[in-house]
Amino acid sequence: MSGAGSRPHVVEVEVRYAETDQMGRAHHGVYVVWCELGRTMLMREHGVSYAEMERSGVLLPVTGLEIEYRAAAYYEERVQIRTKVLAVRSRSVTFGYEVRGPGDRLLARARTDLACIDREGRTRRLPDDVRAALAAAESCR
């Protein structure tokens, strides 16, 4: 996700006790939740509300997920989720993430692919306004 001119959307969270395992580290599954938070906040910042989109019958289920864990996050640490739109296609979108801890320590890199479907589960085109908003977010890279 690095590169000249890169400007990811950044959201910061504190690792909560309930998110940790017996070793005191953030459980691996919570990174998926953090990516979802980063993705929905990026979309909201660019004028796309998940709730409004779903009310209109446009759904974006995750169809692919990759996470590479690099270091642990611990209870009460502040972590940043840095999210970017990597690709916008007619019927799907790909997001990239970096989760960083104190001292800008890289904790994880992730990627999600989302397909656009209707309420019956049929693939459909992204609405023009959603595609334009996501393309604008992508051009911020």
CA distance 12 to 98: 12
Distance, CA of 118 to CA of 122 (rounded, Å) = 5
CA-CA distance, 13 to 4, in Å (whole number)? 26
Tell the burial category of 83 from Cβ atoms under 10 Å away from its Cβ (0-12, 13-18, 19+): buried
Among the options 21, 104, 113, 128, which is catalytic?
Answer: 21
Q: Clarify whether 113 is annotated catalytic.
A: no
Active centre residues (catalytic): 21
